[in-house]
Amino acid sequence: MTVAETPSALNFECETGNYHTFCPISCVAWLYQKIEDSFFLVIGTKTCGYFLQNAMGVMIFAEPRYAMAELEEGDISAKLNDYEELKRLCQQIKRDRNPSVIVWIGTCTTEIIKMDLEGLAPRLEAEIGIPIVTARANGLDYAFTQGEDTVLAAMAHKCPKEAPKEEAEKTERNAISKLMNFGRKKEDITAGDAEYVDHPPLVLFGSLPDPVVTNLTLELKKQGVKVSGWLPSKRFTELPVIEEGYYVSGVNPFLSRTATTLMRRRKTKLIGAPFPIGPDGTRAWIEKICSVFGIEPQGLEEREAKIWENLEDYIKLIRGKSVFFMGDNLLEVSLARFLIRCGMTCPEIGIPYMDKRYQKAELDLLEKTCSDMGVPLPTIVEKPDNYNQLQRIKDIQPDLVITGMAHANPLEARGINTKWSVEFTFAQIHGFTNARDILELATRPLRRNNNLKDLGWDKLVKEEAKV
Amino acid sequence: MKLAYWMYAGPAHIGTLRIASSFKNVHAIMHAPLGDDYFNVMRSMLERERDFTPVTASVVDRKVLARGSQEKVIDNITRKDQEENPDLIVLTPTCTSSILQEDLQNFVDRAQLESKGDVLLADVNHYRVNELQAGDRTLSQIVEFYINKARKKGELPQGKTEKPSVNIIGISTLGFHNNHDCTELKRLMADLGIEVNAVIPDKASVHDLKNLSRAWFNLVPYRELGPMTAEYLAKEFEMPYVDITPMGVVETARCIRKIQEVLNAQGANVDYEDYIENQTLHVSQAAWFSRSIDCQNLTGKKAVVFGDSTHAAAMTKILAREMGIHVVLAGTYCKYDKDWFREQVGEYCDEILVSEDHGEIGDAIARIEPAAIFGTQMERHVGKRLDIPCGVIAAPIHIQDFPVGYKPFLGYEGTNQMADLVYNSFTLGMEDHLLEIFGGHDTKEVITKGISAGSDLNWTKEAQTELNKVPGFVRGKVKRNTEKFAREREFSEISLEVMYAAKEAVGA
Ligand code: SF4
Ligand code: SF4
């Protein structure tokens, strides 16, 4: 690989190789926890079920809110009636768990046998009285985190089309509080609204842990921007209203279908910004949103500088070192951009799928960051070939490789520092304050191996490693 | 369609991949969608494997779906053949891709023309069998292939090894405590003066498979992996096999006696009785444990056993015969092996359960309320919820089944490990005494029928405080007894009074 000369523009490659990543149905693991009144039904084979059980460690605890609808030979050969079968299962779920929504997760098998989930859902939801969302999170078309994208894109259709007519009903219910606020005007009652600038409603999309949701919402509030709602919400029954003309913005780089759905089908306007990962990304994200609403952001520069200052103890561990992304969860570009800003170099960003339009602002920021820092631009390799990557890793000997779980131990055994990419999927990495957590993760192998380095145990395989 | 929450055995391709990747220098190609290659993760994470897992997915994507894989699978096979020079490449579909009904045999035949190594299609019905059956089948398929190949080339060796020797069949990657079992079996064979001719498939070279027939007999420690191969070798070469699992003092002795019989029938003159006696009485601590005062307190305690057929049957026998524990229920998820299982455990337990439904076994545990469970990770979870200790004795595997220290289940060291497991799983000594004080002895009635029924009873603050004062290890039992008492008398709230009344009533 020739990283020596600095290319002027980002270099994209597509290896269409054999690479390792998780199946997109894994999104069930975090989405069922996020949406508290949901039930996820994965319609597939034993292979899918065993994956969820083993690789994702999703196991049934006291009250499981996800299950497999395991397709049997009769289903595959179409001897059984799909509608009746699904109805039987969904009725059982309704009886046992009574969720507010059942999310059907289609799999490769439902694609192969062309089971018409979207066609069956409306009839069935009318019959059993529970909304059904259908997402095709299959491994034929998508990788890992894109599963969330398919679910959110499907859920976007279920967001209410207009705000409920407040007046009549609300006044009734609030009779008492009205009494107590006797004499005051309505504006004063809806406390806090005064802190916001008047702007068209903004809905954010992307599944984040609740503390992070609060955190980002407050960051925007500081600038006078009001977040009208999040997709997904904590409860399905609280999905945000999305009217034509609303603004939307994504917080995760893997949500391009959701973005498209919101724009085309719900006629919203997308604010394309870098993603709020790292202090640099978070600032750019807020600035972009503010600029759309004509707001002059206050104190952001100082805020960012302060955060960087606090990160210095971690940054000095990685400054001048190199990081290689094998590609797994589609967070790669944002993480690379942040780590380059921290002073690292990055020869290669592997990524399962690259939507250059949806990620445009992030890619631009990556280019700018590289030129600011005076380091070469990374090569972005879509659908990488892991075997080839291992050869490149052997040549380059990067200081840190961020990789899927299958390759971490073998690389460590060959003296290469690794960090699991999945950890970044599950950790809280968004916003200003969580930047520390990203570095806590990224520097852990370096810190650990620093502790061990005097032992001389860095090559733990006998034969000359085939890396 | 079937609503499923949990699987005891994986899908067929996992079994095939376990065999292929156990062999040295064998590569597996999966004809599968991108997300199906988590076998690599399991092997790398659970076994902490230092080498790259020799499994590659030939990815089935939208294009393949529309037009068939065409050259893709063949390209991937020939590419691997060049990159890594494996002796053998095994091609397997997953249950998902097998629906596509592509002519994989044809791909294999064509790839073989351009490959230096051998290429095989795993001969398994991916929709009908599970991981265990598929593994057993794949192993025998590979063995057959190489024996036939050697025969064609006239390379089959004649005769037996000079000294008595054995093939240990069924040790594989991602097997439950397989590594440690293998070490223990090798030690045992050394003690018995038996040479190990081969261990398969673990770290074996396919080129050595032709020498299997040189061993005097085959040892098949597990029901789940190896019997088909042993059968094949018996048919082909009239090789006897011993399939008694040497787990527990009694069964280990029985296994050794069987080996003695097999060897002597072939002209050896061995007598292992002294060895067995010495090991049993003086080396292994397990027999002494059974006789010790600790174990006396286990007499008549109730246990539930559940697992694969090998471990569940062996554990049932150990508990019942060697420790005087009352096995109320013994069960297995190996439905295809139910006849054998029934025959093995029939006389050692009250009930037998053969089921793949974790709910069924969970409910049975809730109903029986044993003092301890010996089961899989699933039963351990059930146990946690019901406050019943559980020793894990069988797959599905979990990171905890790959301890860094030496923990075999088989052989004489295995008997020690079992004694520890049993001891640690029951509440003993001082704790037993406390249980008595709180009226915690085996109770006959059922509290609630299912395991998922949560507590619908309210505890008053005072009662709750009192409950919290009860030592942790008996608290669950006290709580359950009190709630049962309250339910029987239809109290909806548990006050201090109810709590004391319960204690008296149960104690009476
Ligand atoms: S890749 Fe397809 S078949 Fe495999 S687990 Fe994912 S959805 Fe199921
Ligand atoms: S404790 Fe956690 S990791 Fe272990 S079996 Fe239970 S769920 Fe799985």
Name which of B507, B440, B429 is nearest B478 in CA terms: B440
Edge-to-edge, what's the strand order for the sheet holding A269-270?
A227-231, A202-205, A247-250, A269-270
A241: how many CB neighbours lie within 10 A of its CB? 15
**Strands of B326-332's sheet in order across:** B351-354, B326-332, B302-307, B372-375, B390-392
| Of A13, A18, A91, A24, residue with least CA distance to A330 | A24
pLDDT for res A166: 55
Q: Which of residues 378-437 of A touch B (CB under 8 A)?
A: 387, 390, 404-410, 413
Summarize pLDDT for B441-460 with one digit per residue, the tens: 443 333 444 444 455 678 88
Contact A86, A124 (CB under 8 A): yes
Q: Are strands A66-70 and B2-4 parallel, antiparallel or unpaired?
A: antiparallel
Buried b (16+ CB within 10 A) or exposed e, B258-284: bbbebbeeeeeebebeebbeebbeeeb
What was the pLDDT predicted at A60?
Answer: 52
Give the Cα separation of B95 and A288 in Å (integer): 47
Residues paired with B130 in a beta bridge: B11
Q: Considering the entire predicted model, what is its pTM?
A: 0.86
Q: What is the mean pLDDT of residues B91-107?
A: 91
In the prediction, which pLDDT does A73 show? 83
At A275, the amino acid letter reads F
Peptide bond into A232 cis (omega under 30): yes
- Residue with the bigger pLDDT between A411 and B48: it is A411
Maximum Cα–Cα distance for chain B, whole Å?
Answer: 86
CB distance B2–A69 less than 8 Å? Answer: yes
Q: Does B66 touch chain A (CB under 8 A)?
A: no
Touching A: B residues 127-166, CB under 8 Å: 127-128, 130
DSSP annotation of A250: E
Q: Are strands B26-32 and B88-93 parallel, antiparallel or unpaired?
A: parallel
Q: Decide if B404 touches A, using CB distance below 8 A.
A: no
pLDDT at B444: 34
Token readout for B240 is 């006897």
Residues (pLDDT < 50) of chain A are 1-7, 61-62, 167-191, 465-467
For the beta carbon of residue A264, count every other beta carbon within 10 angstroms: 9
Predicted pLDDT of residue A376:
96
Model confidence pLDDT, tens digit, residues B57-75: 999 998 888 888 878 999 9
- CA–CA min distance A84, chain B (Å): 10
Mutate which of A22, A76, A107 for ligand 1 pocket (most atoms within 8 A of beta carbon) = A107
Distance CA A56, CA B132 (A): 22
Q: What is the DSSP string of A114-138?
A: T--HHHHHHHHHHHHSS-EEEEE--
> How far is it, in rounded angstroms, from Cα B220 to Cα B243?
5
- Average confidence (pLDDT) over B470-486: 77
Task: Give, using CA atoms, the residue closest to atom 6 of ligand 2.
Answer: B381
**DSSP letter at B477?**
H
Tens of pLDDT, residues B334-390: 999 999 999 999 999 999 999 999 989 999 999 999 999 999 988 988 888 888 889
Cα B67 from Cα B57, distance rounded (Å): 18
Cα-trace Rg, chain B: 26
Q: Could you tell me what percentage of chain B is helix, strand and coil, using 3-state DSSP and rounding each to the nearest 5? A: 50, 15, 35
The answer for residues whose C-beta is within 8 angstroms of residue A236's C-beta and 6 or more apart is A35, A37, A38, A99, A100, A101, A131, A158
Q: Which helix (H) or strand (E) holds B201?
A: strand B195-201
- Poorest-confidence range of A314-323, B197-206, B388-397? B388-397
CB contact (8 A) between residue A107 and residue B11: no
Q: How many CB atoms lie within 10 A of CB B162?
A: 8
Neighbour-count burial of B159, counting CB atoms closer than 10 A to its CB (0-12 exposed, 13-18 middle, 19+ buried): exposed
Q: Contact A50/B11, CB-based, under 8 Å?
A: yes
